[in-house]
Amino acid sequence: MCGIVGAIAQRSVQNILLEGLKRLEYRGYDSAGMAIFDAENTLQRSRAMGKVAALEEKLEQQSLKGQLGIAHTRWATHGKPSEHNAHPHQSGDKLAVVHNGIIENHEALREELEGQGYVFTSETDTEVIAHLLSREYDKTQDLLTAVQNIVSGLDGAYALGVIHADQPDTLIGARKGSPLVVGVGIGEAFLASDPLALLQVTDRFIYLKEGDVVCLRPEGSVQVFSEQRETVSREVITFEHGDGAASKGNYRHFMLKEIHEQASVIASTLEGRLGERHVLTHCFGADADNLLGQVKNIQIVACGTSYHAGMVARYWIEKLAGIPTQVEVASEYRYREVVVPEGTLFVTLSQSGETADTLAALRYAASKGGYLASLSICNVPGSSLVRESDLCLMTQAGPEIGVASTKAFTSQLIAMMLLTLSLRMVRQGDDQVQADIVAALRGLPGLFEKGLAMDSAIETLSAAFAEKHHALFLGRGPMFPIALEGALKLKEISYIHAEAYPAGELKHGPLALVDNDMPVIAVAPNDELLEKLKSNLQEVRARGGELFVFADENVHLKEGEGIHIMRMPAVEEHIAPLLYTLPLQLLSYHVAVLKGTDVDQPRNLAKSVTVE
């Protein structure tokens, strides 16, 4: 998704902006651009299709010298990816703007502006903002006021960075619906969609709130105004994760690095949250026991991989805490007339905390009323979701850069197991079931390390998939969402069409597709559904399908023609979904590497989906 970087300093900003764009590459984009005022306050702009490296090449030919600038990576929404649609957009030769989000009333605004003689050079919704600002600046002669005056007329979502040649000591930012942070420097100040973009220059950030407009000055002063135009003070938060997170270290791709980090991520997400035999329920807040005790129903809402974590959690919560649970993708939930059963806890799951549909779902739930409370499980402190939820539990995955989510997913599963066990604890007190799962959770980082030893075997196996066009993933019970996640990973990064089915549903359709060109991947831990799954696998074999089964080392399954068995370390059955995610991640990774795709930034996808 689009990324914004802005800088106002007493030194040259080109390389700061360029480095910022590189650090935002993980979000997904198709073009990049930059605008800087030179010493004579002339607006210089450079834009390029494709990677930031293409922009960098242009800047090597002709650098942009100056101390105030804005830059952008664009993920096309209105108008195809092209240089003329790339940001920054200008109105005349004095004003430039970068934008993340979607302006829904852009057509009407464009018509009005064209009627007044404004000439458009792109198909983007953003260009209307540039012209609106220019028109308003001509009236007010003040950039801050101009921004404050026009934003109320924008429907939809925006994060903005704006500069004007007549005010070379001012960088304006504004946000509503799309994320924007201020990087607080020493004698300089910055804007970005994500703190990661600025860690090379500062670790102190202000997370702007909905409707905020901010005015940055070259000596580093930061003035924030609320939507009501009152001067407000916003907390400066020190970013906790080290800068190392934004580098690949010795790994070929961020995705592989992040897969390998999962053992330590699990340990961090559990840290301080486990007692000897049960979860320390106050990890959900001081009053958690009281609140969790009142929960009669749970509604989980999320998107993408986070939705799959929610699906696993439903099996856990209903089985272990006895609480009816619904899970829904946020884009459906937010537009549905929902009926809220009494005592419902509203839970959102999100890596970024900025996913537009998930945020909108939370706001819809809040406006609807009737929920007991909202809880967000999130990986980014200070994100919109965290700020707007009543309670939150932070996953400790650290920054995740690969677009295909891996370590964030496992940390979300851990968080949901903590919630499940807390709900059980407040209902029936300490018991052996909790003690067993808690012990198993403690052992999980070790099992992940063991599981990673399968890497080279899975790499060999991946050759069987690289030439295929389709793949089918099967699982039962809580392993069904794991099959879904395995299929999602494969399609996201290798572009192989992959589907997942609950194995029992095989004969109601997908069996018709099975032949020796369709590899079938099954996840088979040693659980109560194993025997059922085995019968389903026979159904596949009988139709000539080639089976790849990740199975518990103690499960009796015979390798044979067309049946490949990969042995997994034995694991307590409730937490098997966590461990069985690992080989599926590795499989999709190696298939993608063999196919030569852009593993960390797969085509058409974005890390942080900040538009609906």
Q: Which residues bind ligand G6P (CB under 6 A)?
A: 303-306, 350-352, 355, 358, 403-405, 605, 607-609
Q: Which CB, 67 or 358, lies closer to ligand G6P?
A: 358
Q: Which CB, 167 or 351, lies closer to ligand G6P?
A: 351
Residue 564 amino acid letter: H
- Which candidate in 176, 407, 491, 607 is catalytic? 607
Q: Which CB, 309 or 522, lies closer to ligand G6P?
A: 309
- Phi/psi of residue 237, each to 5°? -110, 135
Least distance to ligand G6P, CB of residue 248, Å = 18
Least distance to ligand G6P, CB of residue 368, Å = 20
378 is catalytic: no
Least distance to ligand G6P, CB of residue 605, Å = 5
Q: Which CB, 45 or 260, lies closer to ligand G6P?
A: 260
Q: Which CB, 47 or 607, lies closer to ligand G6P?
A: 607
Of 132, 86, 397, 129, nearest to 269 (Cα)?
A: 397
Least distance to ligand G6P, CB of residue 400, Å = 8
C-alpha to C-alpha distance for 59 and 275, rounded to whole angstroms = 56
Q: Which CB, 183 or 304, lies closer to ligand G6P?
A: 304
DSSP track, 435-490: HHHHHHHHHHHHHHHHHHTTHHHHHHHHHHHHT-SEEEEEE-TTHHHHHHHHHHHH
C-alpha to C-alpha distance for 150 and 357, rounded to whole angstroms = 25
Least distance to ligand G6P, CB of residue 29, Å = 13
Least distance to ligand G6P, CB of residue 70, Å = 25
CB 118 within 8 A of CB 177: no
- Which candidate in 2, 283, 303, 392 is catalytic? 2
C-alpha to C-alpha distance for 341 and 343, rounded to whole angstroms = 6
Q: Which CB, 503 or 611, lies closer to ligand G6P?
A: 611
CA 305 to the chain's CA centroid: 9
**Number of neighbouring beta carbons within 10 Å of residue 460:** 10
Rg (CA), the chain: 25
**Token pair recorded at residue 400:** 């995740």
Q: Is 580 left (phi over 0), alpha (psi -120 to 50) or beta?
A: alpha
- Phi/psi of residue 366, each to 5°? -65, -40
DSSP state of 560: B
Ranked by CB distance to ligand G6P, the top (closest) residue is 304
Q: Which CB, 304 or 545, lies closer to ligand G6P?
A: 304
- Phi/psi of residue 136, each to 5°? -70, -35
Least distance to ligand G6P, CB of residue 304, Å = 3
Q: Which CB, 25 or 573, lies closer to ligand G6P?
A: 25
Least distance to ligand G6P, CB of residue 358, Å = 5
In 3-state terms, what secondary structure has residue 369? Answer: coil
Of 302, 299, 415, 412, nearest to 355 (Cα)?
A: 302
Least distance to ligand G6P, CB of residue 258, Å = 11
Largest CA distance in the chain: 79
Of 393, 389, 366, nearest to 377 (Cα)?
A: 393
- CB-facing half-sphere around the CA of 14: CA atoms within 13 A: 18
C-alpha to C-alpha distance for 453 and 458, rounded to whole angstroms = 10
C-alpha to C-alpha distance for 114 and 235, rounded to whole angstroms = 41
2 is catalytic: yes
Pairing of strands 231-232, 189-192: unpaired
Q: Which CB, 583 or 602, lies closer to ligand G6P?
A: 602
- From the number of C-beta atoms within 10 Å of its C-beta (0-12, 13-18, 19+), residue 456 rates as exposed
Least distance to ligand G6P, CB of residue 178, Å = 13
End-to-end C-alpha distance for the chain, whole angstroms: 11
- Phi/psi of residue 344, each to 5°? -90, 130
- Report, as residue numbers or ranges, the catalytic residues: 2, 607
